[in-house]
Amino acid sequence: MRHKQAQKREIEGDVIYKNKLVSKFINYLMRDGKKTVAQKVLYGSFDLLSQKNQDPISVFEKAIQNVGPRQEVKAKRVGGASYQIPMEVRGERKVSLAIRWIVDAARRRSNKDFHIFEEKLAAELTDASNDQGEAIKKRDTALRMAQANRAFSHFKW
């Protein structure tokens, strides 16, 4: 590496729950710098979860933990050929992938069943905490790719 490594910034917890993971999720959910809109969406989905007699923070954390992949594949060129090499996913990347997959899956949910995004997000969080849903399918696909390419794991070095 030619340049100095950028310092990791420490983010503060969110406004209501003082949870850093919730704050990261809000930052990823945010579009065009509209943080208050993202906060309203997430807290609205938490309200929907609490109306169903579920603890929103525990459902949220369980969903993030369930969706986070254990392995992923990375492309590496060896001798003119590209190989998909299975790699273990480290902590921060695991969390960021889980957040990304949950938000994308919630955005892709059909509009027939749900009218507002809070409902979509609450449904996706509930599904992910129960090992179901689109984000879990994405995790399983990544794991299957890693297992299929185990033969190339010796190229890791």
Q: Which tokens is 154 given?
A: 């010796």
d(CA 143, CA 100): 17
What pLDDT sits at residue 155?
A: 73
Average pLDDT over residues 86-93: 91
Does 79 reside within a domain? no
Count the neighbouring beta carbons within 10 Å of the beta carbon of residue 43: 18
* 59 band by pLDDT with thresholds 50, 70 and 90: very high
Amino acid at 61: E
Residue 115 pLDDT > 90? no
d(CA 118, CA 131): 20
Q: What is the total count of domains within the chain?
A: 1
Does 104 reside within a domain? yes
Q: pTM surpassing 0.75? A: yes
Least confident of 14-23, 37-46, 84-93, 148-157: 148-157
Its domain, for residue 47, covers 20-69+92-139
Does 78 reside within a domain? no
What pLDDT sits at residue 103?
A: 96
3-state secondary structure of 81: strand
Q: Which tokens is 81 given?
A: 């050929």
Per the listing, tokens 């579920």 go with: 54
Does 52 reside within a domain? yes
What pLDDT sits at residue 19?
A: 94
Does 47 reside within a domain? yes
What pLDDT sits at residue 37?
A: 94
Residue 84 pLDDT > 90? no
d(CA 31, CA 42): 13
Name the nearest CA neighbour of 152 among 69, 76, 79: 76
Give me the CATH number covering residue 121: 1.10.455.10
Residue 52 pLDDT > 90? yes
What pLDDT sits at residue 151?
A: 84
Residue 124 pLDDT > 90? yes
Residue 50 pLDDT > 80? yes
Does 147 reside within a domain? no
Average pLDDT over residues 86-90: 91
